[in-house]
Structure 1
Amino acid sequence: MARRQLSAATLIQCAILLVLVWSKGTAAISLEGKLQQLEEKLESKLALVEAQNVHLTGKVTQLELQLQQQDEIKETLAFKVDQLESLLNALQKNNQRPTVLSEWKDDQSAVVTSDGMPTSCRDLRILGHLWSGIYSVMGNHSVETVYCDFTKVLDDPGFEKWIGYTDVKSARTYFYVQRETDFKVLNTPIPFEIERLNVGRAMDLTSGIFTAPRTGTYFFSFTGMGHFITSSATRVYVYMGLFLNGDKIGSGLVDEANTVSYQNSPLMIQSTLNLKEGDQVWTAITTVTTGMYLHDSTNHYTHFSGWMLDEDIYQSR
């Protein structure tokens, strides 16, 4: 009986040991699963936090940009406020200046031109200009540049300062033409065969006549070459003329005495003219001795050029 009881106790102990071993194994497996679950949850939380961080960074950047834009708007508004304060101070300082247009009515007899173009700083002020600065106004014959100080009264010497003329042309005009053959016809506008430049199309090559497209001041230059074909013991010559509307207004001459055969001599005519719109200018041979002429070839000895220096804008309007 004692041996059997011992054996039973031993069996019980063994059973208890098996239960303990099984319990520990199950617990270990359960803990490992929970640890893996925790790691997965932690990774998910970290990814969410990182996404939120990226979103917050974008929001911060956007806010910084908005703040920068607001600062720029504030600076612009501050600058405009300074401008308005300066204008207000100027107006308060100059309490003699009329503040409404009707108070200027006595000065408007000589205000603007018939087409509304200002002729002075006074005109500009009447038209509503408030800021001092450099302006273009219509002068007697051309556009002029003036400085207007609108912080001063009208009779102040510094109210208007004349600066100079403005180069304004309503039509660009300049030409340069040439011949390449001889010419000897008397009292006839010299035609041209080559057009190097003819901006404004005021020069007609076929007729040799320039027609002024606008009233103004023009410059002309003609160069030719007289050709002496035979020897002579007496004086020989070629007279050239510059014509305005049929009247000779300038001359050029090349002559020679006791000349040898085939001698060439250049001649030149230059002039600055005040022309009205539609005036015509040309060159022509006026007098020539027998056997002489204007010589030309592919070397182009005969040149005629001209351009508008200044336009009388007042007459052109």
Structure 2
Amino acid sequence: MARFLSSLLMGVLVLACWSACVMAESTVEQQLQRLKENYQLLADKDRRLEALERENVKSRKTLEAQMTRLESKTRRMEIEAIEQKSQLTALQQQNVLHSGTRAEMATRQAATATIPRSCADVQCNGHTVSGMYSIMGNTSVEMVFCDFTKTTADPNFQRRIGYADVKTVPTYFYVQKNTSHTTAYTPIPFEVERVNIGGAMNLQTGKFTAPRAGTYFFAFTGDARFVGPRTSIVAVLVEMLWNGRRVGSARTTESNTAGSVHSQMSMQSTLHLKAGDQIWLQIGFMTSGGVAYVFDNPNADQRFNHFTGWLVEENLAGLF
């Protein structure tokens, strides 16, 4: 009986040890399995973290690029805003300028002369495009540049370019003699009319009458004949008279001539005349006895005596 109990106890102990071993072995395998699973989970998490990190880096770069573009766009918008503000200011100033100009034009419209005397008058007459215009000056027509983008108070609103050669009556003449003149102190008449535009030169009276006030030019070239032989001095003097007052003269002399001789004389003059003033030539002196005179030959087309003149610049003051 005792042996049986010992054997039974031994069997129970063996069974208990085996069971413990089996259970221990089962627990280790499970733990290893769980460790593998946990490692796999950690590895998966690491991969996900790495992927998230890459996505984060990519997103950060994308955001940085977007920030750079936004900053550049913001700067452009700021520049555009400044430019638009400048344009708006310029438009406002231009509007004020045009408003002021229109007000000035309205103020002067009733008093504007038919013929403009300034760029302001030109503007009041309806011209709005800047450019060169003709205006009436003190004594002549002037060419000016009108800048209508500026106010009338601006010194560059009107800039003078120069004078325009405007004549209400074109006046110029050229006449000649074909006969000799031997009478002193009387106007020298002329027989040949080459040019007489304006009709201011009267050939029969020998007098030029100024049709308009202004600056005139005159020139005379003549031939004096001295009948010889002569041992004494002989002379001829031709005068230019302005309303009867001598303003110039041409003289020629000869002496100890063996026979008849000819001598040339000439004079020029530039004068400021009033309308109605008269200019003529006359012999102011010649040796008496018919030995000296202004000579021309009617039988030959030679023409030794010439008288010419023209209106250089007309004085338009008071005409408009």
Equivalent positions of 1:1-317 (< 5 A) are 93=94, 95-97=96-98, 98-101=100-103, 105=107, 116-290=114-288, 291-297=291-297, 298=300, 299-317=302-320
Mark the CA change 1:194 to 1:217 in structure 2 (over 3 Å): closer, same or farther: same
TM-aligned CA deviation for residue 251 of structure 1 = 0.7
Mark the CA change 1:192 to 1:252 in structure 2 (over 3 Å): closer, same or farther: same
TM-aligned CA deviation for residue 90 of structure 1 = 7.6
Whole-Å Cα distance in 2 between the matches of residues 262 and 301 of structure 1?
16
- Letter paired with 1:272: T
Deviations 1:10-61 (A, max 9, x none): xxxxxxxxxxxxxxxxxxxxxxxxxxxxxxxxxxxxxxxxxxxxxxxxxxxx
SS of the aligned residue for 1:96 comes to helix
Give the TM-score normalised by the residue count of structure 1.
0.66
TM-aligned CA deviation for residue 117 of structure 1 = 1.5
Mark the CA change 1:153 to 1:255 in structure 2 (over 3 Å): closer, same or farther: same
TM-aligned CA deviation for residue 91 of structure 1 = 8.6
Whole-Å Cα distance in 1 between the matches of residues 266 and 254 of structure 2?
16
Mark the CA change 1:90 to 1:163 in structure 2 (over 3 Å): closer, same or farther: farther
Mark the CA change 1:103 to 1:120 in structure 2 (over 3 Å): closer, same or farther: closer
Give the TM-score normalised by the residue count of structure 2.
0.66
- Letter paired with 2:311: M
SS of the aligned residue for 1:182 comes to coil
SS of the aligned residue for 2:304 comes to coil
TM-aligned CA deviation for residue 125 of structure 1 = 1.9
Whole-Å Cα distance in 2 between the matches of residues 166 and 302 of structure 1?
34
- Letter paired with 1:292: A
SS of the aligned residue for 1:273 comes to strand
TM-aligned CA deviation for residue 92 of structure 1 = 5.3
SS of the aligned residue for 1:251 comes to strand
- Letter paired with 1:185: T
Query: Is the contact between residue 112 and residue 125 of structure 2 (CA under 8 Å) also seen in structure 1?
Result: no
Provide the residue aligned with 2:35 in structure 1: none
TM-aligned CA deviation for residue 127 of structure 1 = 2.7
Deviates more, 1:250-259 or 1:282-291: 250-259
TM-aligned CA deviation for residue 161 of structure 1 = 1.2
Query: Is the contact between residue 94 and residue 152 of structure 1 (CA under 8 Å) also seen in structure 2?
Result: no
- Letter paired with 1:304: F
Percent of pairs with identical residues: 44
Deviates more, 1:89-98 or 1:289-298: 89-98
- Letter paired with 2:279: V
SS of the aligned residue for 1:155 comes to coil
Mark the CA change 1:158 to 1:235 in structure 2 (over 3 Å): closer, same or farther: same
Query: Is the contact between residue 222 and residue 265 of structure 2 (CA under 8 Å) also seen in structure 1?
Result: yes
TM-align CA RMSD: 2.2
TM-aligned CA deviation for residue 156 of structure 1 = 1.9
TM-aligned CA deviation for residue 202 of structure 1 = 0.6
Whole-Å Cα distance in 2 between the matches of residues 152 and 256 of structure 1?
70
Whole-Å Cα distance in 1 between the matches of residues 218 and 319 of structure 2?
21
Whole-Å Cα distance in 2 between the matches of residues 199 and 120 of structure 1?
32
SS of the aligned residue for 1:313 comes to coil
Whole-Å Cα distance in 1 between the matches of residues 91 and 129 of structure 2?
10
Residue correspondences, number: 225
Q: Which runs of 4+ in 1 moved over 4 A?
A: 89-92, 101-104
Provide the residue aligned with 1:23 in structure 2: none
Query: Is the contact between residue 224 and residue 293 of structure 2 (CA under 8 Å) also seen in structure 1?
Result: yes
TM-aligned CA deviation for residue 260 of structure 1 = 2.9
Deviations 1:169-211 (A, max 9, x none): 1111111111111111111110011111111111001000001
Query: Is the contact between residue 94 and residue 151 of structure 1 (CA under 8 Å) also seen in structure 2?
Result: no
TM-aligned CA deviation for residue 262 of structure 1 = 1.1
SS of the aligned residue for 1:249 comes to strand
What runs of 5+ residues in structure 2 fail to find an aligned partner?
1-89
Mark the CA change 1:305 to 1:210 in structure 2 (over 3 Å): closer, same or farther: same
SS of the aligned residue for 2:123 comes to helix
TM-aligned CA deviation for residue 130 of structure 1 = 1.2
Larger radius of gyration: 2
- Letter paired with 1:100: R
